[in-house]
Structure 1
Amino acid sequence: MTLEILTSDLLGPVRHGFFTRRGGASSGVFAGLNCGMGSSDQSEIVTINRSRVADAMNVPLTHMAHPYQVHSADVLTITEPQNGTRPKADAVVTATPGLALAVLTADCQPVLFADTDAGVVGAAHAGWRGALDGVLEATLDAMEALGASRADTKAVIGPSISQAAYEVGPEFLDAFIANTPENSRFFAQGEGDRMHFDLPSYGLHRLRSAGIGAAEWTRHCTYADADRFYSYRRTTHAGEADYGRLISVIRL
């Protein structure tokens, strides 16, 4: 099966892609393009999947860098191939042509950034914790350190869990409104004390408040479309043992 790669006109001529699960070599609960080296999928199959992604981005696999994600606000600046090392962080930036930046997700937001005039790109993994702690703003800061201008930077949020599928408890709401009561607008009332959180809208809000030139969400829900996307929450609800990880990549 051919790889399915979602792109956005907002990122212009920069080569990028939000890869769906279609076109991979994995089977079973991982069926498709599972790129999660931390999953219990066969490591050699994951490597095949990652190689297909690198080929699609026209880079050697050794030149596709992604961090060991820990739901932080830490950002890595990449200037050369990582040779298999994966420092802990949740975003990566570069101004070096020929290097691809990747993040893995399965409900969290994959966010791809580009300042085409400055020749600087970035990629961030922004779950609720990372977004709340400032990983998106930290990515913009790191890009600026490489010569980018946030007013000229554009960002696209890829397939993420939608508000309709993201049910949370009162303690989750408390974490968001503790210092910023206005964040209550990203929550809708559910049954009983449950709420529904709008992660992509929150991500867009953080990006726009940080002064980015333009930002959008592709409007794909990972939970709702099992044929195209992996979802941690859907897997949990189904009682499955593990889940695949989607990959999103950008390069100069």
Structure 2
Amino acid sequence: MIKAAALGTVPHGFLGRRGGVSVGPVAGLNVGLGSADDPAAVAQNRRLAADSVLPGAILATCYQVHSALCVEADAWPDAERPHADALVTDRAGIVLGVLTADCAPVLFADVQAGVVGAAHAGWKGAFTGVCEATVDAMEALGARRERIAAAIGPCIAQKSYEVDEAFRARFLAQAAGHDRFFIAGREGHHHFALEAYVADRLAEYGVGVVEGLGLDTYDDEARFYSFRRATHAGEADYGRQIALIGVG
């Protein structure tokens, strides 16, 4: 269980692949319903993960589509997950979860208001405003952005995230200052700092405290699943880890 200092005693955790019952290429705590893993193993892993943060709580996750959509969590069955990439709640007994395998998981809490949120921020979701949408949804439940603490969990680090010139141009068109999130790589390519970009968007939106954990999913195979690493290795499948938060 990886904790963020910014979230204090709020029930939360960033989990990797350690523990769990899955075997083979996705061995460990694979929680991905879309993987080729044994569905019974995935279900057991999801229960283990949720109970590690809020024992007995209902786990709410989305059918993630790399969007900027945020929804208020409810006790929906896994088969009826809404297509979205962020959730919020002010209800006890529900633990919010977002799945990642290189994208940035972001957990949010306004302790005073008793409101929490979780966002799956890949480059596309971050670019189109999934974190800002989460803040807006939390404020609709009574939170205030200057009181919100946000923690950015394990994701692909800049040194591991090579992108092409067209990718960089998209971000520079959004704001010329975004050049600071790129460093030169091999000819025609750059390395993108996803965590720093997400942190900057949160700070610019007025979030009170922003913490980045600086953990690279690509570089630590024993600890984390990574889509990009699995792709580079020619593996047939990849696991997903989960970040969780609930109302204490």
- The aligned residue for residue 28 of structure 1 is 24
- The aligned residue for residue 9 of structure 1 is 5
1:9: Cα distance to partner? 1.8
Amino acid at match of 1:13: T
1:51: Cα distance to partner? 1.2
1:66 matched to 2:40? The reply is no
Of 164, 178, 197 in structure 1, the residue corresponding to residue 192 of structure 2 is 197
Task: Determine what percentage of the aligned residue pairs are the same residue.
Answer: 51
> Is the CA contact 1:144–1:150 (under 8 Å) kept in the aligned structure 2?
yes
* Correspondence list, 1:140-219, <5 A: 140-219=135-214
- The aligned residue for residue 87 of structure 1 is 82
1:42 matched to 2:33? The reply is no
User: Secondary structure of 2:203's partner?
Assistant: helix
1:8: Cα distance to partner? 1.2
User: Secondary structure of 2:156's partner?
Assistant: coil
> Is the CA contact 1:159–1:221 (under 8 Å) kept in the aligned structure 2?
yes
Taking structure 1 as the reference length, the TM-score comes to 0.96
Amino acid at match of 1:32: G
What is the rounded CA distance, in whole Å, between the counterparts of 1:54 and 1:128 in structure 2? 26
Figure out how many residues of one structure are paired with residues of the other and give that number: 246
Of 12, 15, 18 in structure 1, the residue corresponding to residue 14 of structure 2 is 18
1:140: Cα distance to partner? 0.2
Amino acid at match of 2:218: Y
Render the CA deviation track for 1:111-153: whole Å, top value 9, x for unaligned: 0000000000000000000000000001000000000000000
What is the rounded CA distance, in whole Å, between the counterparts of 2:133 and 2:224 in structure 1? 27
User: Secondary structure of 1:172's partner?
Assistant: helix
1:77 matched to 2:69? The reply is no
Amino acid at match of 1:184: D
1:138 matched to 2:133? The reply is yes
- Structure 1 unaligned segments of length 5 or more: list them: none
Amino acid at match of 1:65: A
> Is the CA contact 1:59–1:99 (under 8 Å) kept in the aligned structure 2?
no
- The aligned residue for residue 115 of structure 2 is 120
User: Secondary structure of 2:49's partner?
Assistant: helix
- The aligned residue for residue 106 of structure 2 is 111
Amino acid at match of 1:204: A
What is the rounded CA distance, in whole Å, between the counterparts of 1:172 and 1:9 in structure 2? 33
| CA RMSD after TM alignment | 0.9
1:14: Cα distance to partner? 0.6
- Structure 2 unaligned segments of length 5 or more: list them: none
> Is the CA contact 2:54–2:246 (under 8 Å) kept in the aligned structure 1?
no
What is the rounded CA distance, in whole Å, between the counterparts of 2:22 and 2:44 in structure 1? 9
1:182: Cα distance to partner? 1.1
> Is the CA contact 1:59–1:100 (under 8 Å) kept in the aligned structure 2?
no
Of 28, 51, 54 in structure 2, the residue corresponding to residue 55 of structure 1 is 51
What is the rounded CA distance, in whole Å, between the counterparts of 1:188 and 1:226 in structure 2? 24
